[in-house]
Amino acid sequence: MNAIISASELAGDLTGGDPPVLLDVRWQLSLAKASGEPSFDGRAEYEAGHIPGAVYVDLDRELASEPGSRGRHPLPDLAEFGTAMRRAGVTSGTPVVVYDGGQGWAAARAWWLLRWTGHPDVRVLDGGLPTWEGPLETSVPTPAEGDFVPAPGATGLLDADGAAALARSGVLLDARAGERYRGEVEPIDPVGGHVPGAVSAPTHENVAADGRFLPAGELAARFKALGASQGTEVGVYCGSGVSAAHQVLALAVAGIPAALYVGSWSEWSSDPSRPVAVGADPQ
């Protein structure tokens, strides 16, 4: 099953006999701003216009638990996640399509969580809402209660120790911008740098200028050049387990299974006993 879907394919599926459940997960990374600008409000964006039938899902509250020692976006409480998905109408036997405002990170986080907890048919709208050419609606739907019950373990999950081990035994990809990987800047976390042995693989290099994923063959070639291919044990991390989910999705498009280190650099760097590498060299 393809992990992504085009806007034209989605439009066709929505008029078919088995339309997917639609989840709108618009979100942006919020940084403290000296100018006092308000933070991004995904729900307000959703209420201003969304694909007909889509239900809003809050990444910070429903796809993650409170930030702390496990990172800025640790795994959500599974009971609360299940409640949120059932509220949105998610059932085990109905396809799910997730979209966001175009960056793809938030949609990929929802995709990964649903796949990790056992949903068999989840796809991400390639390029997000900007690719949708159909009408938008402002009314908020009230779907029938779903029956999805999370059963974790269907796809790979890494903790800090597992990520450290994988950097030695397989390939651990760092999905952040190169300057953060090298430790030249660190706008959010306590210290800059990367997990020793991790390979720099910025997420933005997986997509074209319009935000859509590169073709599967080009993605496979990119990851092969980074040491990741079919048969290789691969893991991904980022700052807090959101953009890394997008990289896991890109790897899936390329046909390469990968595990996600959800705590990512925000968890790793919070413990001063963990080693930190800086510069372009993985070690």
**CA–CA gap between residue 103 and residue 170 (Å, rounded):** 28
Please tell me which residue in 3, 4, 84, 238 is annotated as part of the active site.
Answer: 238
Q: Write a three-state SS string for the chain.
A: CCCEECHHHHHHHHCCCCCCEEEECCCCCCCCCCCCCCCCCHHHHHHHCECCCCEECCHHHHCCCCCECCECCCCCCHHHHHHHHHHCCCCCCCCEEEECCCCCHHHHHHHHHHHHCCCCCEEEECCCHHHCCCCCECCCCCCCCCCCCCCCCCCCEECHHHHHHHHHHCEEEECCCHHHHCCCCCCCCCCCCECCCCEECCHHHHECCCCCECCHHHHHHHHHHCCCCCCCCEEEECCCCCHHHHHHHHHHHCCCCCEEECCHHHHHCCCCCCCCECCCCCC
**CA–CA gap between residue 191 and residue 184 (Å, rounded):** 10
Residue 172's DSSP bridge partners are 235
Catalytic residue list contains 238: yes
Residue numbers annotated as active site: 238
